[in-house]
Structure 1
Amino acid sequence: MTETLDPTAADGPPPVLPPGAEPVDYPNAAAIPAALHGPESSLAGITVVVTGLGVSGYPAAVHLAERGAEVIVVDGDTARDRSEYEAILAVFDVDIRRGPEHVSEVPTGRSGRTPDLVVTSPGWRPDQPLLAAAAARGIPVIGEVELAWRVRGANSAPWLVVTGTNGKTTTTTMLESMLRVAGLDVRACGNIGAPLLEAVLDPDAEVLAIELSSFQLHWQFSMCAEAAAVLNIAADHLDWHGSAEAYAADKGRAYTNVRTACVFNVDDPATRALVEDAEVIAGARAVGFSSSVPGPGELGVVEDLLVDRAFIPQRYSAAAELAALADVARASGTPDAPAAPHQVANALAAAALARAVGVPPAAVRDGLRAHAAGGHRLALVAEHRGCRWFDDSKATNPHAADAALRAFDDIVWIAGGLAKGAEYGDLVAAHAHRLRAVVLIGEDRAPLRSALAAHAPEVSVHEVDLPVSELAPAERGGPVMDRAVDLALAAARPGDTVLLAPAAASMDQFLDYAARGDAFARAVHERAEA
């Protein structure tokens, strides 16, 4: 591993990049105020626009205002209740501008100054008019990851980064459990848990387990993770990124300037390609994980054991036992069933990241045993009328739904929602032989309907066509899921599996994927108890 920074070695804030790191080409990077570095320096005289008043925008606005910056928060959404945030920000004299009329151009501060910096929330696309106008005027635009990296100051807690199309949350929480069992004071943060900015400023944190989306990674360029894993790459969020290539490139930013280990999926060539293209600090290694017998420098499976041939001295001739497949099944919340292949992959990726910071094999095993599986991830809801009903609402894209569909035969599949530019032909073609029937939900059912007609014409398709667009989001899910479950009941036979694995996002008819899964579970339980 390369030599780490000593933030006390010189006066002033620590440099953003450690020795040996390569700067990434990023628009207007040179214009980012130097005073931003470290959490202590004053930002008086600096004007910052924060876009979005949510879980990332709010802590950014508080932090910047506390340090004396003139902060303008711009949020086009007026429907969500942000009164608590607004009351606290008012104490710091933050200028809050909500409504669609505020998001089309770069605002000027009360002082009349042109902003020095824009800190954007992950949901804002790069082509959003305010962001595009800022970039065109030479105003740097960064996100919460870049901000957190720059303000971390003397906080030397290593960053362990998890990204990928699917499995991020499970892998991150598995990693958190392993680190905690090893005796480390860990914070799970980023896309889950605490906001990254809060975690990085916590003086007690010894290591950060950070889940990052492609949106978050897009807006950063100087992060240097201790180790990073890209779990898998499949087309997703193409409406945001514009192309599959741009989406993959943003995922690959996780590997830039990694210090110790770039963890990749041996069974997914796209992740290997990202490692091969990455600029890392000298000494960093590529570490693969696979559901097969591992080669030197990899983690994998031998018979019913997870083993390590990467972080041991004799990796060319031996392997270290980490855990059993039964431990993965327990960690996944399915102790009475074989460990699902995608969960084995998640566990191996988490283990590789943990091992990169010296976690012993026993802590990997005990961390898996102590792990509490997250909700809406292939969770058994009930057994009713001879069928098993599973909630995999977290399957918000075709790649995730593919993993769920592979686990069963004779499926009544409840699917649909916001496609986000995804294609469904390959997914349907791969699983047509498993499908007993399909129930389509979502306001735009055409992409899945077309794929089913082309690749599974013999499968009966039932559609939930309810006029819910006039209802508030919190009221939409109930009628939709009630009707979907009734249609599934009518189509299912004893021995079938009814599977909610939508392969699409939820926000057209539900507040989020959790609300969608909760509505499904409620509807199933009501009918099972009737």
Structure 2
Amino acid sequence: MTARRDVADLTHRDAAWSGLRVLVAGLGISGFAAADALAERGAQVVLVDAAVPAPDSAAAGRAQILEVLDVEVRTGAEAAAALPGGRELDLVVTSPGWRPDQPLLAAAAAAGIPVWGEVELAWRMRAREGAAPWLTITGTNGKTTTVQMLAAILRAAGLRATSAGNVGTPILEAVLHPEPYDVIAVELSSFQLHWSSSLRPLASVCLNIAPDHIDWHGSLADYEKDKGKVYANTEIACVYNVQDPATERLVEQAEVIEGCRAIGFTLGVPARSMVGLVDDILADRAFVEDRATSAVPVASLGDLEQNGIPAAPHVVANALAAAALARAYGVHPHAVAAGLRDFVPEPHRVAYAGEVAGVRFVDDSKATNPHAASASLAAYEHIVWIAGGLLKGAEIDDLVERFAGRLRGAVLIGADRARIAESLARHAPDLPVVDLADTDTGAMDRAVVAAARLAQPGDVVLLAPAAASMDMFANYGARGDAFTAAVARLTSSGE
């Protein structure tokens, strides 16, 4: 067999990719993008996936396109169970969802075959000269909001910019776009960071750390370690959350480029080398000439309002993180404010769903774990909470204890609602609780009606389930859509 090639010198798109023998794991969007980019550069690519795509599905369409490009596509459990026999490989490129202990990936590691993720491949396929710098964002919660805020700020500054990575455009597509970007805002999951090693972002941030995906990483320590890789090799600024000491600790442990600065973001008054709040002003005391004695305003809390509703504290924190990254890139303060005004949140992220009899309804179906739900619950004084779903082993007791005093009532849905009910009984024994065993299509309507009856004028009915949705809905988006539709029907009924 031909000796394995050294892939260390594959550091730009014009490198010697031709003839490289690559296995791509996964037929999803990132796997397709990787196989397509490699085949276009003359690599010999085989793609494997445990799932056999249904006829006429998007996955089947991707497989057909790849086969036209001379990519060998193998699907089924056997195809993904082990390295292909009789084939020497130079490289494995994995989709982010594949766990490190997956047999094929474990066999590659044992054989000394380098394993990259799509993000690592994208970094190595940047232009040799003049490639767009990356501003990278990770965290347990808030990544998507922050990366989209940042992209809006960059565009408001007149830059050709996009958000990519774990959200929206696959990062390979952004890197290889025929009309190059000036700068790319990159959202990175812990999975993507695990498989990355040579990224060199201009500026980076870890928004927060809370237990998540422990089953994938094996331990909280390993999860934190992978999150911390966002800071590795950062050139200008490592941005951390002053309210989350774990993020500052990750900065302290990171190997960065000489001269890189640690920049904090805080909901309090900023100290030197921080961005934060001074009354209702988002202020930069990091990227100013005389940061010892002065700060510059970059936006106001009014710039973050949506439908007249003040931004929740975690949304303000996300805006401060985005502002810090933009300022590290050199964006003018006026563009920060303009971008935040232009920003439109994605559906189901603390989205206003309507008002009935003085009660506001807020959809945060994206709050699929207790940490995310905590941010929503902290935003309102009097709440009727719609909660429940699949807790996936997450602890709920601390969340309930912390916010019991804000609750006017609770409506519980989903498979693990009993655990939430037990916690409410311990920490808020007098709270009115409606336990809905319903799982049919009308269940959300009944939950919204029950919540409305518990609420008083001035209250917020908050869908922040603290749990995943797949026990009752296709995904958190379908759950949020059901909530919004139920609120609309309640509004029209006048109940």
Q: TM-score, normalised on structure 1?
A: 0.86
2:465 equivalent to 1:502: yes
Are residues 313 and 496 of structure 1, via their aligned partners in 2, closer, same or farther at CA, if it must alter by over 3 Å? closer
In the alignment, which of 52, 68, 88 is matched to residue 91 of structure 1? 68
Contact 2:313 2:378 in 1 (8 A): no
CA offset digits 1:392-435 (Å, max 9, x no partner): 01112211111111222332212223324321111010011222
Gaps of 5+ in 2: none
Which residue in 1 is equivalent to 2:211? 235
Contact 1:117 1:139 in 2 (8 A): yes
Shift in Å, 1:489: 4.3
Amino acid across the alignment from 1:147: L
Are residues 223 and 193 of structure 1, via their aligned partners in 2, closer, same or farther at CA, if it must alter by over 3 Å? same
Are residues 509 and 35 of structure 1, via their aligned partners in 2, closer, same or farther at CA, if it must alter by over 3 Å? farther
2:12 equivalent to 1:38: yes
Shift in Å, 1:436: 3.0
In the alignment, which of 125, 140, 145 is matched to residue 170 of structure 1? 145
Contact 2:25 2:47 in 1 (8 A): yes
1:82-121, aligned counterparts within 5 Å?
82-108=59-85, 112-121=86-95
Q: Work out the CA distance in 2 between the residues paired with 1:138 and 1:209.
A: 33
Which residue in 2 is equivalent to 1:347? 319
Shift in Å, 1:479: 4.3
CA offset digits 1:95-134 (Å, max 9, x no partner): 22223333322224xxx31332221111122222222222
Q: Which moved more, 1:357-366 or 1:241-250?
A: 241-250
Which residue in 1 is equivalent to 2:163? 188
Shift in Å, 1:488: 3.0
Q: Secondary structure at the match of 1:101?
A: coil
Amino acid across the alignment from 1:282: E
Which residue in 2 is equivalent to 1:145? 119
Shift in Å, 1:355: 0.8
Q: Work out the CA distance in 2 between the residues paired with 1:511 and 1:90.
A: 30
1:69-468, aligned counterparts within 5 Å?
69-78=43-52, 81=57, 82-108=59-85, 112-154=86-128, 155-202=130-177, 203-329=179-305, 333-334=306-307, 336-466=308-438
Shift in Å, 1:206: 0.8
Q: Work out the CA distance in 2 between the residues paired with 1:307 and 1:363.
A: 14
CA offset digits 1:211-242 (Å, max 9, x no partner): 11111111101111000011111122222222
Shift in Å, 1:247: 1.4
Q: Secondary structure at the match of 2:36?
A: helix
Q: Work out the CA distance in 2 between the residues paired with 1:440 and 1:408.
A: 19
Are residues 189 and 130 of structure 1, via their aligned partners in 2, closer, same or farther at CA, if it must alter by over 3 Å? same
Contact 1:35 1:43 in 2 (8 A): no
Q: Work out the CA distance in 2 between the residues paired with 1:227 and 1:300.
A: 18
Q: Work out the CA distance in 1 between the residues paired with 2:241 and 2:49.
A: 38
In the alignment, which of 55, 67, 77 is matched to residue 29 of structure 2? 55
C-alpha RMSD of the superposition: 2.2
Contact 2:108 2:114 in 1 (8 A): yes
CA offset digits 1:433-472 (Å, max 9, x no partner): 222332333334454344334333333444443567xxxx
Q: Secondary structure at the match of 1:228?
A: strand
Shift in Å, 1:390: 1.1
Q: Work out the CA distance in 2 between the residues paired with 1:486 and 1:339.
A: 26
Q: Secondary structure at the match of 2:29?
A: coil
In the alignment, which of 478, 492, 495 is matched to residue 529 of structure 1? 492
Amino acid across the alignment from 1:389: F
Q: Secondary structure at the match of 1:408?
A: coil
Shift in Å, 1:493: 4.7
Contact 1:411 1:496 in 2 (8 A): yes
Are residues 465 and 73 of structure 1, via their aligned partners in 2, closer, same or farther at CA, if it must alter by over 3 Å? farther
Which residue in 2 is equivalent to 1:64? 38
Instruction: Give aligned-pair identity as a percent.
Output: 56
CA offset digits 1:274-324 (Å, max 9, x no partner): 111111010000011111111111111112211111111111111112111
Q: Secondary structure at the match of 1:61?
A: helix
Contact 2:404 2:427 in 1 (8 A): yes
CA offset digits 1:4-46 (Å, max 9, x no partner): xxxxxxxxxxxxxxxxxxxxxxxxxx97624643223453443
Contact 2:359 2:452 in 1 (8 A): no
Amino acid across the alignment from 1:156: A
Q: Work out the CA distance in 1 between the residues paired with 2:445 and 2:40.
A: 48
Q: Work out the CA distance in 2 between the residues paired with 1:136 and 1:466.
A: 49
Are residues 115 and 507 of structure 1, via their aligned partners in 2, closer, same or farther at CA, if it must alter by over 3 Å? farther
Shift in Å, 1:175: 0.9
Amino acid across the alignment from 1:252: G
Q: Secondary structure at the match of 1:439?
A: strand
Amino acid across the alignment from 1:438: A
Amino acid across the alignment from 2:281: L
Contact 2:5 2:20 in 1 (8 A): no
Gaps of 5+ in 1: 1-29, 469-477
Shift in Å, 1:519: 1.5
Contact 1:260 1:356 in 2 (8 A): yes
Are residues 479 and 68 of structure 1, via their aligned partners in 2, closer, same or farther at CA, if it must alter by over 3 Å? farther
Q: Which moved more, 1:488-497 or 1:501-510?
A: 488-497
Are residues 341 and 52 of structure 1, via their aligned partners in 2, closer, same or farther at CA, if it must alter by over 3 Å? same
Q: Work out the CA distance in 1 between the residues paired with 2:357 and 2:79.
A: 54
CA offset digits 1:66-107 (Å, max 9, x no partner): 222222222223466212212211211222222333332222
CA offset digits 1:475-503 (Å, max 9, x no partner): xxx34434433443454455442211011
Number of aligned residues: 485
Are residues 446 and 118 of structure 1, via their aligned partners in 2, closer, same or farther at CA, if it must alter by over 3 Å? farther
Contact 1:312 1:319 in 2 (8 A): yes
Q: Work out the CA distance in 1 between the residues paired with 2:84 and 2:437.
A: 42
Shift in Å, 1:209: 0.5
CA offset digits 1:166-189 (Å, max 9, x no partner): 111111111111111111111211
CA offset digits 1:135-162 (Å, max 9, x no partner): 1222222111111111113252111011
Q: Work out the CA distance in 2 between the residues paired with 1:505 and 1:485.
A: 18
Q: Secondary structure at the match of 2:247?
A: helix
2:492 equivalent to 1:517: no
Q: TM-score, normalised on structure 2?
A: 0.92
Q: Secondary structure at the match of 2:73?
A: strand
